[in-house]
Amino acid sequence: MADNTFMVEIVTPEEILFRDEVSFLVAPGTEGELGIMRNHAPLVGALKIGVLRYKDPNGNQKKLAVSGGFMEVVDNVARVLAETAEHGEHVDVLRAKAARERAEKRLQARDETVNALRAEMALKRAIARLKAAGVE
Amino acid sequence: MAGAGAREYKRRIRSVKSTQQITKAMKMVAAAKLRRAQEHAQASRPYTETLQGTLARLAAVSFDVRHPLLEKREDVRKVGYIVVTADRGLCGGYNTNIIRECNIAIREDERKADYGIIAVGRKGRDFFRKTGKLDAEFVNLGDNVSYADAREIAQYVMNAYENQELDEVYLVYAKFINALRQIPTAVKVLPLETPEAEEAETSINERVIDYIYEPSAEEILLTLLPKYVGSQIYHAMLEGKASEHGARMTAMGNATDNAKELIDNLTMVMNKVRQAAITDEILDIVGGAEALKK
For chain B positions 107-166, those within 8 Å of chain A (CB to CB) are: 146-147, 150-151
Angle at B234 between CA A116 and CA B122, to 5 degrees: 90
Q: Which residues pair with A65 in a beta bridge?
A: A51, A86
Which domains can be identified in chain A, with CATH numbers? 2-88 (2.60.15.10), 92-133 (1.20.5.440)
pLDDT tens digits, A64-110: 999 888 999 998 999 999 999 999 888 888 888 888 998 888 888 76
Cα distance from B210 to chain A (closest Cα, Å)?
A: 7
**Percent helix, percent strand, percent coil in chain A, to nearest 5:** 30, 45, 25
Q: Does B97 touch chain A (CB under 8 A)?
A: no
Which domains can be identified in chain B, with CATH numbers? 4-27+251-288 (1.10.287.80), 28-250 (3.40.1380.10)
Interface test with A, best of B214, B221, B223 (most A CBs within 10 A): B214
pLDDT recorded at residue B57: 82
Nearest to A44 among B151, B213, B234 (CB): B213
pLDDT tens digits, B24-42: 999 999 999 999 999 999 9
pLDDT recorded at residue B73: 86
pLDDT tens digits, B210-265: 888 888 888 888 888 889 999 999 999 999 999 999 999 999 999 999 999 999 99
pLDDT tens digits, B77-113: 999 999 999 999 899 899 999 999 999 999 988 888 8
**B106, amino acid identity:** I
Taking CA atoms, what residue in A is nearest to B220? A46
pLDDT recorded at residue B4: 67
What is the average pLDDT value for chain B, to the nearest integer?
A: 88
DSSP 3-state of B87: coil
CB atoms B223 and A11 under 8 Å: no
pLDDT recorded at residue A115: 73
CB atoms A13 and B230 under 8 Å: yes
Taking CA atoms, what residue in B is nearest to A44? B213
Residue in B181, B116, B129, B190 with CA at minimum distance from that of residue B154: B190
Between B268 and A122, the more confident residue is B268
Q: Which residues pair with B243 in a beta bridge?
A: none
Nearest to A11 among B47, B209, B212 (CB): B47
Taking CA atoms, what residue in A is nearest to B238? A14
| CA A75 to chain centroid | 22
- Is the predicted ipTM greater than 0.90, yes or no? no
Strands B134-138 and B114-120: parallel
Nearest to A79 among B44, B50, B224 (CB): B50
Enter the pTM of the model. 0.85
Contact B136, B156 (CB under 8 A): yes
Indicate the helix (H) or strand (E) that contains A51.
Answer: strand A50-55
